[in-house]
């Protein structure tokens, strides 16, 4: 049985559909564990996986270019990292900057 097949879109753009497919396993895990589903926690968890992906892509590109693979990828959050995600952050080796504040003039 195949999962996460790409079907013709009923609604939403491709980016939305991609993010929904990435979020589904996390949502299923949270429901199975009787955890409260929080959008901000979900977004933070997905952000950590995005950091892992970006780091791997950048390092692979550096190797192809004949450079030493070395890069720094950061996850910037407007809030504090939820305590329940601290272990995941440490396992994945993600660097997090918390409580980023944008000047009001830059918010559109």
Over residues 90-107, the mean pLDDT reads 82
Mind listing the pLDDT tens digit for each residue in 76-92? 888 888 888 899 899 98
Categorize the per-residue pLDDT at 2 as very low, low, confident or very high, splitting at 50, 70 and 90. very low
Categorize the per-residue pLDDT at 1 as very low, low, confident or very high, splitting at 50, 70 and 90. very low
Mind listing the pLDDT tens digit for each residue in 7-29? 454 455 666 566 666 766 766 67
Bigger pLDDT: 13 or 47?
Answer: 47
Check residue 102 and give its pLDDT.
Answer: 76
The first and second tokens of residue 108, run together, are 């559109």
Categorize the per-residue pLDDT at 96 as very low, low, confident or very high, splitting at 50, 70 and 90. very high
| Three-class DSSP category at 96 | strand
Check residue 23 and give its pLDDT.
Answer: 67
3-state secondary structure string across 27-46: HHHHHHCCCCCCHHHHHHHH
């Amino acid at each position: 049985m195949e999962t996460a097949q790409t079907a013709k879109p009923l609604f939403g753009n491709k980016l939305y559909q991609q993010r929904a497919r990435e979020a589904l396993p996390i949502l299923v895990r949270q429901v199975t564990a009787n955890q409260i589903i929080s959008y901000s926690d979900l977004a933070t968890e997905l952000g950590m996986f995005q950091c892992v992906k970006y780091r791997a892509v950048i390092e692979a590109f550096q190797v192809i270019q004949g450079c030493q693979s070395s890069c720094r990828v950061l996850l910037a959050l407007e809030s504090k990292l939820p305590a329940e995600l601290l272990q995941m952050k440490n396992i994945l080796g993600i660097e997090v900057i918390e409580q980023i504040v944008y000047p009001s003039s830059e918010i559109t």
